Structure 1
């Protein structure tokens, strides 16, 4: 999908998918997010069913999706995840967002 960028904003579009049966459903809070350059950005998804493992993939223009970070990954610069098991929410936090963070982000679930 086409991302419209300016020098002061980051456009982040994210989608989601499940790696299991149709009983588990992963839904992003918003399909498109605008983040101000240099500020923090949080992407969030909600899931139904039981999750064994959650992760985020990143797909930059012209490339295939790449695993970005999982909930049990070691700390990665600028990135962190937060899993709220009470509300079935999984969050990706990007600190100091930059134009290079513009991409399609996929929230992925591996069911139990």
Structure 2
């Protein structure tokens, strides 16, 4: 039980003396930086069934339907819309790699998990 307290004490006293050039390793990126935005590196899932569209507008034709069990990654963002790529074949038959647009309000970030 005393080791964690000792480790914290050493970190608080020794690391500031070493200086800013030495830092603890990062756990990994939580977001992907891209021109125009920063997105969740683990992807996104639709909140409900949502149409994947040909462009960033509700007036654009639909390509197919995404369900909450589907996973997509953001390619770019434009005016409240994400251009996304379907990660693998969707439940409704969209091929993995299909790209289209969904309103940002209809998707939520997937939870990243690290299993060591």
TM band (smaller chain): under 0.3
Query: Could you say which structure has the larger radius of gyration?
Result: 2
TM-score (norm: length of structure 2): 0.24
Determine which structure has greater relative contact order: mean sequence separation of CA pairs < 8 Å that are 6+ residues apart, divided by chain length: 1
